A and B are shown apart, each in its own frame.
Chain A
Amino acid sequence: MMLAISLVVSAGVMLALSRDLFRLIVGLAVLGSAANLIVFMAARPGSLVPPLIEAGAGQLAAAAADPLPQALVLTAIVIGFALLCFALVLGAWLVRHEGHDDSDRLQDSEPVASDSLKPPVMEE
């Protein structure tokens, strides 16, 4: 499992370091799955005893699975999915308005200086 997570992380980092807008977004999404897997592993999966308190018993059986990380992962997936959708729409919008998908050329908000000492004037 640790090996799998490190594989997913390295794939995510490789994609996220790309200059291509969509690769970057997909890379962050893959990294998100890695983070979710880490939270999931925090529950030490393996126990098959459901986390239900038996009738009459005051507390959980000692071998019961930890229910909390699943709830956490679910929350994280929902938020991550919403952000992913937003980012994909934003990426598509940028590609349509810029005419390219190179993140190095996103320079409308930070114009490149033509003078080496003075920054350029931003027009409103």
Chain B
Amino acid sequence: MLVLSPLLVPLLTALLTALLARQPVLRRSMSLLGAAALLGCAILLLLEVVQGGRQSVALGNWPLPYAIEFAADALSAALVLVAAILGAGVLLATLRWGETAEAGAGLHPLLHGLLAATGAVFLAADLFNLYVWFELMLISVLGLLVLGGKRRHGEAAFKYFAVSMLGTLLMLGAVGMIYGATGHLNFGALRVASTEPQLAGALPAYLGLLVLAFLLKAGAFPLFAWLPASYHTLPAPVLALVGGLLTKVAAYVLLRLLGDVFVATPGIMLEALGWLALVTMLSGVLGAAYHWDIRRILAFHIVSQIGYLLLGIALATPAGAAATVYFLFHNILVKANLFLIAGLVFAAAGHYDLRRIGGLYPARPLLALLFLLSAFSLVGVPPTTGFWGKFMLLREAFEQGRYLWGGTALAVGLLTLYSMSKIWLEAFWKPQPDDRPAGSTSAARPSAAYAAVLLLSLLILTMGVFPEPVIRHVELATAGFWSGALK
């Protein structure tokens, strides 16, 4: 039952917080309790998987491969833990946060719904189940987008809906075709069925459709326009959860499907994925260079980081997969932390636009320090998490002779440094501009959000200074990937 806890606990919490719509204090404590319980279950699950290997539960009273299977291996259990840490941090940050207090009673149930869906996607070992939980994710995010209730929230939700819906329809169609071709939905059965020679003609086409759907969900080039168009309308703590997790979940699914399930992925698809990754990286970071709104800069950086993840998948080796997974951990935590810091900058200076704010270094030295840590980590300065992730990725790329891929990744790192130093110079070093909006600087500091950022930063710092245990776990988790790949 422990395997199911990462989806049952948040679902139960969502239900309870929805029932407590009229008691805000009780609702918030319930929500925090749920997040803490999820964190505890995730830790227990990871320990159990580390000691006892893959854990799986087959629902529906049928034998495998017909039952609905949820399985936790070393990779999924670790990702569930990262998501749970992020969920707890974000829920802590929503306490005493102005915008989220205005959002009303719907916020906590939707946040827990999102956590349940991501947990279930990490654990699903069944293609159709995966589709259902992606839909639940879409529904939760749509709910979170419209909670703001202003025109821009509705617009953002509509744009997000139109593109995501297209993605889920592609996914559904592809799932149907794959079922029609192989007669299976379970990952284990598909792994066996996908190597059958009579499927070598049709299956890559169906798989391509499926990959396209997840590329859209991940925000890869050229299908990323929906992401910076909608994310920045969310309140900062919610943005941290959504921006930190969602696209990365799609990247995880791509890694799982291509590297672990459909082991006979044709090489040309991976080649295409690699080039796509380069363009994604570049277009994301160049989009970020144009913008002055911190949230939109960071939203474009999500796209750019997705490029790195896709690059790791395209390298199609266990080492590439290990680099991808380490980068995934790093990116989920760092990106969410940066969004939370952006929210704190807004709380301190009254605006997200870099042209309207300044002088935060003398006013908020701690915030400046925390931003520097996360920004360095995103850029990849040693000894931060970003450095190790990029180091593993680049080493594998150069070892395979992919000098152009690796070189572009390095150049994108430099451009990331440009965006981060822009935020640093404008928000922290430049003196406060005179035409600042009146009454912008609030006296009350969102202390809970500070605590959340401090804890996440501490975790990022520890992961950067002592990367050994994480890297060893990641290498163990991805050792079996790409075992049957046709290169």
Interface residues of A (CB under 8 A from B): 16, 21, 24, 28, 31-32, 34-36, 38-44, 68-69, 72, 75-76, 79, 82-83, 86-87, 90-91, 93-94, 97-98, 103, 106-110, 118-119, 121-122, 124
Contacts and interface: CB of A to CB of B under 8 A. Distances in A.
B139 A82 contact: yes
Contacts of B291: 119
Interface string B139-181: 1001000100011111111110110011001101101110110
B138 interface: yes
A28 to B, nearest CB: 5
A35 B155 contact: no
B152 A108 contact: yes
Interface residues of B, number: 46
B155 A108 contact: yes
Interface stretch (B347-355, B392-400, B443-451): B347-355
Secondary structure of the A side of the interface? Answer: helix
B390 to A, nearest CB: 28
A97 B154 contact: yes
Interface string B167-208: 001101101110110000100000000000000000000000
Nearest to B180: A42
A43 to B, nearest CB: 8
B473 interface: no
Contacts of B296: 119
A118 B292 contact: yes
Nearest to A72: B128
A109 B230 contact: yes
Interface of B: 128, 131-132, 135, 138-139, 142, 146, 150-159, 161-162, 165-166, 169-170, 172-173, 175-177, 179-180, 185, 229-230, 232-233, 290-293, 296, 351-353, 355-356
Given A83-B138, A122-B293, A109 B156 contact: yes
A32 B169 contact: yes
A16 B169 CA distance: 13
26 contacts: A24-B162, A28-B166, A31-B166, A32-B169, A32-B172, A38-B173, A38-B176, A39-B176, A42-B177, A42-B180, A69-B179, A72-B175, A79-B132, A83-B135, A83-B165, A86-B139, A94-B151, A97-B151, A103-B162, A106-B159, A108-B152, A109-B153, A109-B159, A109-B233, A118-B292, A119-B291
